[in-house]
Structure 1
Amino acid sequence: MLFNLRHTDNLTASGWKKANPLAPVPTSDQALNWVFVIDTMNFSFWPEEQTQQCEVTYKGTTYTGYMTLCAAIARAMEEGIPITDPKYFSQMSMEELGQVLRSDNETPMPMLQERHQVLALSYLSNIKVTMM
């Protein structure tokens, strides 16, 4: 499938933006860090019951699953929270991450503590690799 798409717009930066409209503009300074933050926390969105999904409404659209994470990060960026800045997210508290990933319904973002841990650990791992 990827081989067939190799000469299309789908595998370009503009195609990436079309595939996920919540992502920053690919040429922005935040784009690479956005991908890092999103990919680091991209796990386990499955609720025990389908009716218990965490939801984030952003710019009039309600999201669930992976897109909930994207919407929460986009919302935080719009609110002026430097969530894509490694100096910020590596030192943020669990409460601060909880505020960033807050749900718009009674079901919270699953595995908040684990998401908090991987952000801090991924940043520390990156520093160690960079220093070698």
Structure 2
Amino acid sequence: MKVDDYLITYSLPRPFFGLNIPIPMQSAFMRDYAKKNHLIFQLPAVEICFKDSHYVLLSLLQKSRGSSLINLCMSSVLMMPILNSDLFEKIIQESGNVIWHFPLESMILEKSELLNWVSDFKCMQSLRNQ
């Protein structure tokens, strides 16, 4: 098996953007996603329950540095700290050669595509709040 055959998964045990998806459901969703995409599912790394914590995600990214390619999956792109610019930028800086998988939105993004998506999302949020 090659490194890029594996799907590293990440779960968030707290609400995000009005959603609160139980970890067993996140895990089952990502396991099904891995199977459909012919990837090897790995049990999710579960984030610490503290508000705004992304310590486990940062740790996953730091451990993957130097790898040729990492498939990282979280149920939704909205699990990213996209409204916390400093933290989001730190995650992006640590992401190296990550391919981001977001099955809820049916998106597979490289770093530049994720940055563009977040920029567009923030733009839409600001228009919505006017």
TM-score of the aligned structures, taking structure 1 as reference length: 0.34
TM-score of the aligned structures, taking structure 2 as reference length: 0.34
Choose between structure 1 and 2: higher helix proportion. Answer: 1
- Structure number with bigger Rg: 1
Choose between structure 1 and 2: higher strand proportion. Answer: 2
